[in-house]
A and B are shown apart, each in its own frame.
Chain A
Amino acid sequence: MKWIPVALMGVAAFLGSLLGTLIANPLYARDPSSGMAPFLFNLVAMIVYLVVVIAILAAIPFAFLRLAWVGRRTEFATSMALGATRSELIRRARVEGLRMGVFASIAGIIAGALYVQVGPFAEHGWEPFTSQGLYPLVAVAWLLVMAIVIATTSAIYGIAMSSMTRGTPVEAATAVVADSASERGLGRLREPGRGIRVVLALFAFAWVVMLVDRLTNIGRVDFDNAAETVWLSNTVGVLAFIAAISAPVIGWFVLRLTAEALTGPVARALRYGTRGLGARSFAADGLMQRTGLRTGAVMTMAIVAALSTATLGTYTLGDHLNYTAERLNAPVAVTSYADGFFAEGPNPHPDGLEQTALDPSLLAALSADSRIHVVPFARLRAGDPYEYTELWPDGRIEESTRQDTYLAVDVAASDAVVPDGYRLLGLSDGTFVAAGEGNYSNVAVNMRGHEIVVAGVSEPVHPFWSSSRDSVVSLDWARERFGPAPISGALIYAVDDTVSVRAVVSEYVTPGQAYTYSHNEDYGVVMLSRAPLGASGTVLLAGLIIAVALIVAMSTASQRLRRREYATMAALGATPASLRVAPAIEAAVTASIAIVTGVAVGLTYWLATANPYLMSPGAPIDAGEALWHLGAHLGLFPWTSLAIGALVTVASAALASLVFGASMQQRTPVEELRTAMKEGVS
């Protein structure tokens, strides 16, 4: 078991190395554009992310390390009693951690560097950013990864030792006992110190500002009067960041309090009707004792469960949104106008909805064809034309005059393509699906929302980004706000893969009657997950492995610690069967509590952050839409996978305990007491 923490740090080093190596390309990759600045930017980003990620991940090896050292507690205490100072023990642990860190980081970095050369990145690379000319500089990234991993591992070992040798030798020795008995493991929150209070106040203030910003959009910067508002926006941004980083802290406390609040009632429910007899009652006894060991394991497992749930939700929803947006990207558009979103041409274009109608008979004919879906729209132009300079990868520079152009889409008709597709992407009255430069549209998007100005009418709109390739507003809403307009175009979709939309459309459109635009269906901007299991599967599997390893380690360690107790109970007449089953029940209940708490917190976090109408500053305040998205997201969540993951974890917890318990029951109480002594549990 003592190798698990090292292996985990190795995995961290592997990931770090992957990042570090990826900021340059695989050696054989092409070298399109390069520069020192993007490299440095990536390096800094990598360090910032890595520090945060490793700090979170370090909790897991720490938990394992404490579990691995439980049996050595008396040994530590005795060496203290025999004259070793605590700082010496801690120093020695740090040195051991240092050695392990060197080992883990070197192994991980080599593996990561190799994987980049042969792994799936070879296809893509991060070509826009870097070059192999910078490859020697990657060594800098590797050294940083190594330093971070070694420092973290050493710190973990030191902190673990320091937490296990607290107090005088006698106290440290009885901590073996206290670990399964103390009240301080969990529970009553201490009066926070001044420093903590200042930090909490800052967190609270940041949250208030973030809420105010959400409600009033005070952090918005306009294109035209940027100078005056930019300081406000920056301040709000910093505070929002503080609020965001305080979220895990709050999450931690919520996890802890919930796990504890659940344990008591569950234990009482378990004991109910047992008259103090039997496995259920023993398990309840075990649960009622607050042990530092279980607290640590429950917290770590809950964190793993929360992270897995949130990531699972994020990936699944992301995949689904990408899929939805992809489906809504029409391969062909038929329009009554020829100039797309460019403002040049024979006539200067007026603001507002396009008044040239698409030939109604053509629209009717297309709509009647069962091989295609037809989604009518009206073009909406807004604001003043502006100069636009485009730099092509081959070095060409292209200048053009453009004007913000939206597609006002018949949303009901688009439901035939993907039911509730646009709504899922966030579309409602007063919002638009944002795409920047799209296939058939083009909008200069202000992240915090802007106004659509048409002939003096100004309507605020809020953008929702997705991989949609057109900026879309609702046709009904646009007509209501900007006046009547005919259908000026139609987006055409294939009913299934066998249909060529272009061919079908060309059967109907006669030259001069309308214009046809088309776009390749595999534009290839969206990188869907390419992992063999899919991204969410990989996340789930990783979470599952960690959770199962944790619960197995925890239940066996806690049974080791309680070996003496069980032996004594056997000596006092407890039946072997009940003693065998009790730890299994206890482990299963513990795992369930951790999972329920973790899933609840992770789900809440995901639902709150994924909902376009909840946290995004500037989005319309619309409880109806917020609820609809909540429901849609809940419906999308892969409950079955989660349930299977949870069941597997709980079952392996119970099974590991049963197997371990069975081996205990082979022996007599006296033999068990001797084993307990041998393992340093007094």
Chain B
Amino acid sequence: MAKKTPTAEAATALKARGLTKTYGSGEAAVTAVDHVDLDIPEGVLTAVMGPSGSGKTTLVHLLAGLDRADAGQVWVGEDEITALGDKQLAQVRGRVVGFVFQGFNLLQTMSAKDNILLPLRLNGIPRDDEWLDGLIDMLGIGKELSRKPYEMSGGQQQRVAIARALITRPRIVLADEPTGNLDTHASAEILAHLRQSCRELGQSVVMVTHDPTAASYAGRVLLFVNGRVDGHITDPTPASVLAGLDALAGVQR
């Protein structure tokens, strides 16, 4: 893949306008994502932070085309995915976006390795052994490859899920708390890798996290509260992120 040097006015990888998702109806209705306008630049690692239940998972699901919005639009690159048919949407999910679920969603019937290779199979993409070995090495899951997910620890499953999201070298990676189950060392390595591939390969990564240290690897931190974007922090450090979160605590009901 050709190297891309980030330019001053980077293109947008993801764009959302008026994005809204409400669960339930009547009294019990929860608007998890509330008229969100958003531009995620290309080649940047973006962190999304916010209190539990603020709608982060819902947001990344909508951005990846995994769930249906009640209103609003989402663009992946030039394509408006909220207007796509099933088939093209499948193409976007398979070839353009890589997704790491909060609950991993590994296929229990397949070994770790088969799980990692699954997106290639599903989308008819030839396998690149060098890339695969690199990922396995970076994530430290060489010993787990033949195991089934239910035979692995939470952190091991999480790393397999990350490998599965990266195997197709997607332009955009959306990860829902990808380091939530990992020790400091392992998360540092993975975060460094993600940041590096953003810088060097022009990949765009959106990562939901609760961890200020993890967020400090990002180029930009979005603060998400009550289904809305409530400001952002550029070039964050753990300290500035903490300060931002403290400010949010005041905003919350």
Contacts and interface: CB of A to CB of B under 8 A. Distances in A.
B95 interface: yes
A669 B66 contact: yes
Chain A interface category by residue count: 20 to 34
Contact of B108 (A181, A571, A669, A673): A181
Contact of B105 (A276, A289, A568): A568
Given A568-B105, A668-B67, A671-B67, A574 B122 contact: yes
A275 B126 CA distance: 10
B109 A289 contact: yes
Nearest to B68: A668
B87, B109, B148: most-surrounded residue (chain A CB, <10 A)? B109
Interface string A552-575: 000000000000110111111111
Given A573-B119, A573-B122, A668 B94 contact: no
B107 interface: yes
Contacts of B71: none
Nearest to B86: A576
B93 interface: yes
Interface stretch (A26-34, A172-180, A599-607): A172-180
B121 interface: yes
B67 A670 contact: yes
Contacts of A572: 93-94, 99, 118-119, 122-123, 164
Interface in B188-227: none
Contacts of B124: 275-277
Contacts of A673: 105
Contact of A177 (B121, B150, B164): B150
Contacts of A668: 66-68
B234 interface: no
Contacts of B106: 568
Interface string B81-111: 0000011001101110001010001111100
B99 A576 contact: no
A675 to B, nearest CB: 13
Contacts of A567: 105
A568 B149 CA distance: 14
B35 interface: no
A174 B105 contact: no
B68 to A, nearest CB: 5
Given A571-B66, A576-B87, A670 B61 contact: yes
B67 A565 contact: no
A669 B109 contact: no
B231 to A, nearest CB: 27
Contacts of A174: 150
A181 B147 CA distance: 12
Nearest to B64: A571
Given A277-B121, A565-B107, A575 B67 contact: no
Interface string A23-45: 00000000000000000000000
Given A574-B94, A669-B66, A670-B61, A569 B87 contact: no
Contacts of A564: 105
Contacts of A181: 108-109, 148, 150
Interface string A646-682: 0000000000000000000100111101000000000
B122 A277 contact: yes
B107 A573 contact: no
A576 B118 CA distance: 16
B217 to A, nearest CB: 25
A660 B95 CA distance: 28
Nearest to B98: A572
A575 B87 contact: yes
B33 to A, nearest CB: 13
Nearest to B110: A285
Contacts of B121: 276-277, 281
B90 A573 contact: yes
Given A178-B150, A275-B124, A668-B68, A571 B87 contact: no
Contacts of B99: 571-572
Nearest to B167: A572
A180 B94 contact: no
Contact of A573 (B67, B95, B109, B150): B95
A575 B107 contact: no
Nearest to B62: A670
Interface in B115-141: 118-119, 121-124
Nearest to A667: B68
A676 B68 CA distance: 17
Contact of A576 (B61, B90, B105): B90
B86 to A, nearest CB: 5
B67, B86, B90: most-surrounded residue (chain A CB, <10 A)? B90
A575 B86 contact: yes
B131 to A, nearest CB: 17
A209 B124 CA distance: 60
Interface in A538-595: 564-565, 567-577
A409 B53 CA distance: 94
Contacts of B61: 670
A64 to B, nearest CB: 24
A476 B86 CA distance: 79
A669 B107 CA distance: 14
Contact of A575 (B90, B108, B118, B150): B90
B108 to A, nearest CB: 4
A277 B119 CA distance: 10
B244 to A, nearest CB: 28
A189 B106 CA distance: 30
Nearest to A569: B122
A174 B149 CA distance: 11
Contact of A180 (B93, B109, B119): B109
Interface in A477-492: none
A572 B86 CA distance: 13
Given A276-B121, A668-B66, A670-B61, A570 B150 contact: no
Given A275-B124, A670-B66, A573 B108 contact: no
A275 B120 CA distance: 11
A570 B90 contact: yes
Given A174-B150, A277-B121, A668-B68, A574 B105 contact: no
Nearest to A565: B107
A270 to B, nearest CB: 15
A180 B150 CA distance: 12
Contacts of A665: 86
B90 A574 contact: yes
Contacts of B67: 668-671
A671 to B, nearest CB: 7
A282 B52 CA distance: 37
B170 to A, nearest CB: 10
A180, A281, A573: most-surrounded residue (chain B CB, <10 A)? A573
29 contacts: A178-B150, A180-B109, A181-B108, A181-B109, A181-B148, A275-B124, A276-B122, A276-B124, A277-B122, A285-B109, A289-B109, A565-B109, A567-B105, A568-B107, A569-B107, A571-B99, A571-B101, A571-B105, A572-B122, A573-B90, A573-B93, A573-B95, A573-B122, A575-B86, A576-B86, A576-B90, A577-B87, A669-B93, A670-B66
Interface of A: 174, 177-178, 180-181, 275-277, 281, 285, 289, 564-565, 567-577, 665, 668-671, 673
Interface of B: 61, 64, 66-68, 86-87, 90-91, 93-95, 99, 101, 105-109, 118-119, 121-124, 148, 150, 164
Given A565-B109, A572-B122, A574-B122, 9 more contacts: A180-B109, A181-B109, A181-B148, A276-B122, A571-B93, A571-B105, A573-B91, A576-B86, A671-B68
Give the 9 A-B CB pairs with smallest separation, nearest first.
A573-B94, A276-B121, A670-B67, A177-B108, A576-B86, A575-B90, A568-B105, A573-B93, A181-B109
